[in-house]
Amino acid sequence: MSAAAPPRGWLLQTWGEEAVAFDAASGDTHYLAPFTRLLFETCRDHPGLTTAEITALLRARLDGAPDTDFHTAIDEGLASLQRIGLLNAP
Amino acid sequence: MRAADDLLVRTLRAPDGVRHYSMDEWDLLVRQARAAGLLARLSARLREQGLAPIIPAPSRWHFDAADTLAARQQIAIRWELQQIRAALDDLDTPLIVLKGAAYVAARLPAAAGRLFSDIDILVPRESLTAVESSLMLAGWHASGLTDYDKRYYRRWMHELPPMQHAVRDTVIDVHHAILPATARVHPDSARLRARAQTVEDLPGIRVLAPEDRILHAATHLFHDGELPHGLRDLTDLDLLLRDAGTHPDFWPRLTARAAELELGRSLFYALRYVRHFLDTPIPDAVMAAVAAHAPGRITLALMDAVFSRVLAPDHASCADRLTPAARLAAYVRAHWLRMPPHLLLPHLFHKAFISPAQQPPKPA
Amino acid sequence: MKLLQLPPAELRRQLASSGLWLRTGPFSLRVRSRIPSVAEGLAQLYGQFEVRSPHEAFADFHVSVNPPSGLRRWVRPQVCFAFDDMPPFKPLPYDQAFPMLEWGLNWCVSTQAHQYLIIHAGAVEKNGRAAILPAPPGSGKSTLTAALMLSGWRLLSDELTLIDRKTGLIHALPRPVSLKNASIDLIRAFSKDAVLNRPSHDTIKGTVAHLRPLRESVLRQHEPARPGWVIFPRWQAGAATTLAPRSRAQTFMYLAENAFNYSHLGSEGFRTGCALIDRVDCHDFTYSRLDEAITVFDRLAERRGT
């Protein structure tokens, strides 16, 4: 899958593990929970990876055991990031 | 007719005059401009004439705040147009945008300092139902209207009632013609659509050709009853004419097209009053050409008395004792033009006694 | 000249004719009203604010509070607020004329003053740092704001916290604090310095009265304040006084959703909000006793001041 760096026209601000993002074109403001934020940054720092590769990276970073919840969280996180437009859809 | 010498109008005509304004005049100017929905446009005009530094400190934030609103709305309009286009993607009708939103889409001078309430679009009559369904799927619904109003729209205007987005609150007016079917004149929408032009950066969106948008603005102004933004619409016309007038064959095209679409009378009034209020440069030959569509002397005198009041800023300082009667006359006339008499009286009765209009305060 | 220096008859005369010119924080007003309770309220609560000659040329907001014309002047009389002759609200019962002026002035600021990010919150300042108190309904925000003002904190605002977009500082608008129902007697009993006007009954919020801003707060109204905290107060009967840290990002989201003009400011709104959150500590605050609440706030001010 392909993921882009924050599209032009977005502003991003992080505090601790959380972040807020602003889409200048639509005027929408979004809250990124810690996991979603981490997911976004991982995609942004490693463009062009597949979902499996992203999953592996995150698993290593979070020291977690791979389970269905983890995979679901990643799928949902990616879907919501695409929905709001922070990531391009594959 | 009543002289066009209200402070706001004088300032729009000759912005340089602000160099000599007293604080009393600045106070009144801001208030007239806000009431007319023209504070942002006035601010843009002063800025483009290099007069922004002249604005005295106490009043400056009013202009800046208006600029902020206008700039934000331009972004919002472009976004909204993209959403509408996406919602109507499966219809193979070109999406034509009208009025203010068109000025933004085409990046015209008439977009400067413009504030918006609704977005107006033009679609073929056959597509109305499909358009309504697609818009509803994407979150727009006819709302805020009484059942009477909705029936009025569907039955007599053959239009969709204004549709408001459930989340974003933006309103779309869907038209299939620039005048309702019950009006006495029927400018052919197919001809308007045939000449529509594309715009940069907004794929799938079109605007009317320059002559057509001017004719539409003129028609809208002189056929519409409410005229809450009469002076603002006149400034739109002024900016459109000044911009289009720089092209070599624009004027003959305009007068020819007016005749072709049977909109000569509206164009006559538009050019007459835009010159009266804003000194828009119009070649004498053009004024002579549209004079052929002028009404009789007595009607003209009456229209002058009405429109020289109704197009003035909608502020108490610009009203004289004839202004209320003039507004009523304009309202009645506009509805007379849009409706056959046997429908008009019940409609006016209903509006006056059953659903009194609530005028919301206007943004700057 | 201050309003308290105007003889009452002159105050009424100006209000009833071309209007009273009055300055409140960053905004100048021209107020017209023929209603006695409006003149009384202004005399009681706005004494320290600046007035000028009725011929003063420029005012930011021209407002009027008067009975509407027509039948409703006599039968169950009403009062109408107008902003330069445009009425943004429906009329209210005559008894509510003074609160209507206050609500109308808040409306003017929150819909026009886009040089600020305008947060629906109270704000108070001590030792050079301001606490912003956002106001979900029922939070007791105004009661707490009033008590803090009466306990040595400077009142910056009760309803509208104005964040200057360029500097990030809070510009004070220390107009009277609106109190409801039980808070009215509570604050009266809290301090002998509490001066309130005559309550209006049966408003949409219950019984409403306004508390006069202390002289010191009004004298310093043109002195902007540096934000120090955003504290979400919650009064809960019998609760222990607790101050707990709160997520900055979530506080930002709350402000974005509840600021009056965040969406009008676009990217500027986002940047101003972020700059604010960057420089404040964010807390949730629960309390049941005002004196304990004041102590907690005072301690925060001491720590920041050192």
Cβ count near B295 (within 10 Å): 13
- The top-scoring range by mean pLDDT among B285-289, C59-63, C253-257 is C59-63
Pick B72's closest partner by Cβ from C84, C85, C265.
C265
Helix, strand, coil percentages, rounded to 5, for chain C: 35, 30, 35
CB-based contact C154:C188 (threshold 8 Å): no
> How far is it, in rounded angstroms, from Cα B345 to Cα B348?
5
Mean pLDDT, residues A29-47 taken together:
90
* Whether the predicted pLDDT of B358 surpasses 60: no
Q: How many residues does chain C have?
A: 306
pLDDT band per the 50, 70, 90 thresholds, residue B363: very low
Q: Among residues of chain B, what percentage have pLDDT more than 90?
A: 55
DSSP letter at B245 equals T
Residue B69 at interface with chain C, using a CB cutoff of 8 Å: yes
Q: Residue B161 carries which side chain, given as an amino acid letter?
A: P
Per-residue pLDDT of C253-285, as tens digits, reads: 999 988 999 999 999 999 999 999 999 999 999
Cβ count near A16 (within 10 Å): 10
Chains with 3+ CB–CB pairs under 8 A to B are A, C
Structure tokens given for B305: 């008395």
Quick one: pLDDT at residue B329? 81
Cβ count near B336 (within 10 Å): 16
Alpha helices for C177-266 (secondary structure H): 182-190, 215-219, 248-258, 262-265
Question: Which of B338-347, C80-89, C169-178, C201-210 is predicted least confidently?
Answer: B338-347
Place of tokens 């106070």: B27
Distance (Å) from the alpha carbon of C271 to chain B's nearest alpha carbon: 15
A9: nearest CA partner in chain C: C267
pLDDT band per the 50, 70, 90 thresholds, residue B327: confident
Q: Residue B313 carries which side chain, given as an amino acid letter?
A: P
What CA–CA distances, in Å, run from B336 to B52, B199, C279, C299?
Answer: 44, 36, 62, 72
Quick one: pLDDT at residue B64? 97
> How far is it, in rounded angstroms, from Cα B233 to Cα B227?
9
**Nearest Cα to Cα of residue C178 among C120, C223, C232, C236:** C120
Residue C250 at interface with chain A, using a CB cutoff of 8 Å: yes
Residue A8 at interface with chain B, using a CB cutoff of 8 Å: no
CB-based contact C176:C212 (threshold 8 Å): yes
Mean pLDDT, residues B299-308 taken together:
89
Beginning with the edge strand found earlier in the chain, give each strand of the sheet holding B95-98 in spatial order.
Answer: B140-142, B163-165, B171-175, B118-122, B95-98, B205-207, B197-198
CB–CB contacts below 8 A, A to B: 9
Average pLDDT, chain B: 86
Chains with 3+ CB–CB pairs under 8 A to C are A, B
CB-based contact B239:B100 (threshold 8 Å): no
Structure tokens given for B211: 């002559």
| Strand duo C20-24 + C27-32: pairing | antiparallel
CB atoms C266 and A31 under 8 Å: no
Residues 6+ apart with CB under 8 A from A77: A35, A36, A39
pLDDT band per the 50, 70, 90 thresholds, residue B179: confident
CB-based contact C115:C163 (threshold 8 Å): no
**Nearest Cα to Cα of residue C98 among C181, C23, C38:** C38
Per-residue pLDDT of C107-151, as tens digits, reads: 999 999 999 999 999 999 999 999 999 978 777 899 999 999 999
**Nearest Cα to Cα of residue C277 among C247, C297, C304:** C247
pLDDT band per the 50, 70, 90 thresholds, residue C83: very high
- Kind plus residue range of the DSSP H or E element containing C81: strand C78-83
Distance (Å) from the alpha carbon of C250 to chain A's nearest alpha carbon: 7
> How far is it, in rounded angstroms, from Cα B312 to Cα B231?
6
Mean pLDDT, residues C47-74 taken together:
89
pLDDT band per the 50, 70, 90 thresholds, residue B212: very high
For B7-353, CATH number out of 2.170.190.11, 3.40.50.920, 1.10.540.10, 3.30.460.40 equals: 3.30.460.40
CB-based contact C286:C240 (threshold 8 Å): yes
Beginning with the edge strand found earlier in the chain, give each strand of the sheet holding A28-32 in spatial order.
Answer: A10-15, A18-23, A28-32
CB–CB contacts below 8 A, B to C: 56
Quick one: pLDDT at residue B364? 42
CB-based contact C209:C184 (threshold 8 Å): yes
CB-based contact B153:B160 (threshold 8 Å): yes
CB-based contact B33:B231 (threshold 8 Å): no
Cβ count near B2 (within 10 Å): 19
Residues 6+ apart with CB under 8 A from B321: none
The radius of gyration of chain C's CA atoms, rounded to the nearest angstrom, is 19
Q: Where are the domains of chain B?
A: 7-353
Q: Where are the domains of chain A?
A: 10-84
Q: Among residues of chain B, what percentage have pLDDT more than 70?
A: 85
Distance (Å) from the alpha carbon of A30 to chain B's nearest alpha carbon: 15
Residue burial B133-166, b: 16+ Cβ < 10 Å; e: rest: ebbeebebebeeeeeebeebbeebbebbbbbbbe
Q: How many residues does chain B have?
A: 364
* Whether the predicted pLDDT of C217 surpasses 70: yes
pLDDT band per the 50, 70, 90 thresholds, residue C204: confident
Q: Where are the domains of chain C?
A: 3-112, 116-305
A24: nearest CA partner in chain B: B75
> How far is it, in rounded angstroms, from Cα A45 to Cα A53?
13
Per-residue pLDDT of C151-173, as tens digits, reads: 999 999 999 999 999 999 999 99
Per-residue pLDDT of B234-260, as tens digits, reads: 999 999 999 999 998 999 999 999 999
CB atoms A27 and B78 under 8 Å: no
> How far is it, in rounded angstroms, from Cα A40 to Cα A82?
10
> How far is it, in rounded angstroms, from Cα C114 to Cα B264?
43
CB atoms C249 and A22 under 8 Å: no
What CA–CA distances, in Å, run from B346 to B144, B157, B358, C168?
Answer: 21, 15, 20, 57
CB-based contact A21:A56 (threshold 8 Å): no
Tell me the pTM: 0.91
A27: nearest CA partner in chain B: B76
Per-residue pLDDT of B120-167, as tens digits, reads: 999 988 888 889 889 988 888 886 666 666 666 666 555 677 888 877
Quick one: pLDDT at residue B353? 56
Distance (Å) from the alpha carbon of C279 to chain B's nearest alpha carbon: 25
HEC assignment per residue over B139-182: CEEECCCCHHHHHHHHHHHCCCCCEEECCCCCEEEEECCCCCCC
CB atoms A20 and C267 under 8 Å: no
